[in-house]
Structure 1
Amino acid sequence: MNELKMALLGGAALLAAASAVPASAESLDQIKAESNAATAPVTQWDGPTTGPKADKNKFVVFLADTQTNAGSSGSAEGAREAAAALGWKFQVMDGQNTPTGESAIFEQAIALKPHGLIVGSYNSKAFKDLFKRAGEAGIKIVTWHGAAAPGPIDGIPEVFWNLSTDPYAIANTAAKYAVAHSDGKANAVILTDMQYPIVVTKTRGQEDGIKACDTCKVLSIENAPYTEISQRMPSLTSALLQRYGDKLGYILAFNDLYFDFAAPTLRANGVPPDGAPHLISAGDGSVSAYDRIRKGDYQIGTVPEPLHLHGWQAIDELNRAFHGEGPSGYVTKVHLVTKDNINADGGDKNSFDPGNGYRDQYKKIWGVQ
């Protein structure tokens, strides 16, 4: 059995096990209050305030699954900005969204002998041998979205810290916004890709969010591989419209990129931009997602992560690793973007960039101006 098939079966088993546990029902007022709280502006720094001063002349390579992924490209840009503040050499390599490409740039990066690696949106378990080789070469490693939860990665001790907002909470918030928006009548299809543990976790969060409402329903969970979005989404979107008709109220995805291809198909099928199905994403807050939400063009919400902040945190975690210290343990909180708050916290520039002074906080820790 090949690795991908094993991953898909494993993801299905995880999802089935998770689905066997019923979600706790909540009142509609509770769910609306949670959604409203998640839209609040982020003004207070809740991350680390102490840590080692930064050394000079470090070299860091960022391995991106693909630079078309707003999450990987955004966190890479944040890491580039932070590295520049320290005077560190920084390089981004693009895996072109294929396992072969991701493996190739990993090998190339090890050969460059950097002090640190940031690995973005890889299915880490599929690259254990390369993580081991990098670790044996003395390279310090952090990952972004490299596992189902933030923190260390079980079975890959070479990873110092995996950065992410809690993926279950992100997805649960996205789904509960569908419940709140529908006034407790959400019928939703969930798009997933079961080869990625973090996506399995997000799917469980979305399913539980819809099932927290007694009068809402998960119509189906569709496995739509992330690497095949452009080919599959037009036909899948049309098929969902045909299958469910007026029952299809919401389409939930784990990444905004799905809606780059769903929205044109909805338009071609005569669906009005402000009509059902409404689109809500559990990450990562792409420019096109902000544009759709602002215009009222099918998508009504996204739960973005603070990508530039995560890039700064990645550099901070590497600096801690360089000094033999433990990770900061910082995990950013969930934030929901809708048309009502879209211009806050960096939204006027089509990104979630909290106004909590994180850049100055990290520079203070590192001892730079």
Structure 2
Amino acid sequence: MTVEEAKSIVAKATQPSTKWTGPTTGPRAKEGGETIAYVSSDQSYVSYVNWGDGVKDAADKLGWEYKAFDGKGTVSGTLTAMQQAVASNPVAIVTSADASALQAPISQAVKNGIPVIGIHATAYPGPDPELGLFTNIASDPAEIGRTQAAYVIATSDGTAKLAHMLDNSYAIARFKAEAATTPVENLSTATFLESINIPVAEQSKRIPTAVSALLSKYGSDNVWITTCCDNFYPYVAAALRSSGVAPNAIKLVGADGAPSAYDMIRKGQYEVATVPEPSTLFGYQAVDAVVHAMAGEAPDEFVAPTYLVVKDNVDAEGGSKDQYIPSNGFACHYANIWLGTNDDCSAAS
């Protein structure tokens, strides 16, 4: 990736998300009389709540009942939540939990004729028969990492010194890391410093030491950090602040689009960009997969385009609510397909 290519990627990714590139045709939905279950691995995590809100909103348009089951952040709790969802005999189950840890109840659901749709339940978008998923809704992790790399290269004019922070026990984090770091490694004018592996559960304990070591080895001049997930950065920012590093010195480029990321970007406090995941759009995509499953059709292959939040657009595309909600009228487009209506979706964006 050259500097010019990076600048082109950034220019495209920061544009308003007004164009609908998803499906415009598909099976009609059955209206009323159905129940859809949403199994969240942790309803204290805002992204899982937002995705569930999207499922509920889409279900409401069809007159379907929505039931949420909360795993409360533990493997055993999520397993129980999934078992309860299967026992409730819904028309389908949507889950944000790691599908590999839920194989017994997922297998039971499939045996009972209940399709299971993941939202970030595995690393890549699309069907995953091995895990029992009719399909998985997600962004392309390679595109997320590539967009992070492009921002670092473009904004530093190809001179950045980059470190990457991740929990490498997650496959999706490793995929993002490779995509975010390889373009910098391959650029002769830039420098890749190192990858820093920190388990999510140990962030508060290990990040201060990791940041101190990074500063000791490399200083703060033109140093950038990318990461798999924005939830690392409140701890990183606190450690930088404690070390006396100015808020505009080391630059943080994140992913996921957590509320903390929007807040730091807005205030100019260390984090300068993030590649967010769509919030309620993922819920609509999941319900569309349910409609396809009920019709005996394969799921639609739409994957939402990558978007990049920077200070100039931090309040756009749902940013004023600290989440990414594309202004492309997606809810209207899906309703037109499911209900056979022909509403003007430009007015709904």
Could you report, residue by residue, the CA deviation over 1:256-314 in whole angstroms, capped at 9, with x for unpaired residues? 111122212211221111111x11112x1112211110111110000012121111111
Could you report, residue by residue, the CA deviation over 1:179-235 in whole angstroms, capped at 9, with x for unpaired residues? 112121111221122222222211111122322422222211122222333443333
Compared CA separation, residues 360 and 35, structure 1 to 2 (3 A): same
The aligned counterpart of 2:262 is 290
SS in 2 for 1:201: helix
SS in 1 for 2:247: coil
The aligned counterpart of 1:213 is 187
One-letter amino acid of the structure 2 residue matched with residue 302 of structure 1: T
Compared CA separation, residues 94 and 236, structure 1 to 2 (3 A): farther
- Counterpart-to-counterpart distance in 2, 1:64 and 1:228: 22
The aligned counterpart of 2:242 is 268
- Give 1:237 deviation, angstroms: 2.8
Which 10-residue stretch deviates more, 172-181 or 356-365? Answer: 172-181
Compared CA separation, residues 271 and 34, structure 1 to 2 (3 A): same
- Give 1:146 deviation, angstroms: 2.0
- Counterpart-to-counterpart distance in 1, 2:126 and 2:331: 22
Match among 79, 95, 104 for residue 119 of structure 1: 95
The aligned counterpart of 2:286 is 314
- Counterpart-to-counterpart distance in 2, 1:280 and 1:83: 35
* Map 1:326-345 → 2, pairs under 5 A: 326-345=298-317
The aligned counterpart of 1:75 is 51
The aligned counterpart of 2:253 is 280
The aligned counterpart of 2:70 is 94
Q: Determine if the alignment matches structure 1 residue 302 to structure 2 residue 274.
A: yes
Structure 2 spans left out of the alignment, 5+ residues: 342-349
Q: Determine if the alignment matches structure 1 residue 255 to structure 2 residue 265.
A: no
Compared CA separation, residues 105 and 209, structure 1 to 2 (3 A): farther
The aligned counterpart of 1:225 is 199
- Give 1:250 deviation, angstroms: 1.3
The aligned counterpart of 2:347 is none
- Give 1:171 deviation, angstroms: 1.2
CA contact (8 A) 1:191 1:254 kept: yes
Structure 1 spans left out of the alignment, 5+ residues: 1-25
- Counterpart-to-counterpart distance in 2, 1:60 and 1:235: 45
Compared CA separation, residues 234 and 76, structure 1 to 2 (3 A): farther
The aligned counterpart of 1:53 is 28
Match among 58, 63, 68 for residue 39 of structure 2: 63
One-letter amino acid of the structure 1 residue matched with residue 94 of structure 2: I
The aligned counterpart of 2:127 is 152
- Counterpart-to-counterpart distance in 2, 1:62 and 1:227: 25
Task: Give the alignment's TM-score, normalised by structure 2.
Answer: 0.91
- Give 1:248 deviation, angstroms: 6.9
One-letter amino acid of the structure 2 residue matched with residue 110 of structure 1: V
Compared CA separation, residues 363 and 36, structure 1 to 2 (3 A): same
CA contact (8 A) 1:65 1:102 kept: yes
* Map 1:26-37 → 2, pairs under 5 A: 26-37=1-12
The aligned counterpart of 1:367 is 339
Identity %: 35
Could you report, residue by residue, the CA deviation over 1:307-340 in whole angstroms, capped at 9, with x for unpaired residues? 2111111111111112211101111111111011
Moved over 6 A (4+): none
The aligned counterpart of 2:346 is none
The aligned counterpart of 1:324 is 296
Could you report, residue by residue, the CA deviation over 1:122-168 in whole angstroms, capped at 9, with x for unpaired residues? 33223323321221122111101122211112522x31111111111
Compared CA separation, residues 232 and 57, structure 1 to 2 (3 A): farther
CA contact (8 A) 2:254 2:273 kept: yes
SS in 2 for 1:188: strand
One-letter amino acid of the structure 2 residue matched with residue 175 of structure 1: A
- Counterpart-to-counterpart distance in 1, 2:190 and 2:223: 10
- Give 1:252 deviation, angstroms: 1.1
CA contact (8 A) 2:166 2:229 kept: no
- Counterpart-to-counterpart distance in 2, 1:237 and 1:77: 36
The aligned counterpart of 2:116 is 141
Task: Give the alignment's TM-score, normalised by structure 1.
Answer: 0.87
One-letter amino acid of the structure 1 residue matched with residue 279 of structure 2: L
Compared CA separation, residues 297 and 167, structure 1 to 2 (3 A): same
CA contact (8 A) 1:189 1:248 kept: no
Match among 165, 189, 205 for residue 191 of structure 1: 165
One-letter amino acid of the structure 2 residue matched with residue 218 of structure 1: F
Compared CA separation, residues 213 and 326, structure 1 to 2 (3 A): same
- Counterpart-to-counterpart distance in 1, 2:213 and 2:111: 49
SS in 1 for 2:313: coil
- Counterpart-to-counterpart distance in 2, 1:239 and 1:63: 40
CA contact (8 A) 2:314 2:320 kept: yes
Compared CA separation, residues 336 and 212, structure 1 to 2 (3 A): farther
The aligned counterpart of 2:137 is 163
Compared CA separation, residues 329 and 181, structure 1 to 2 (3 A): same
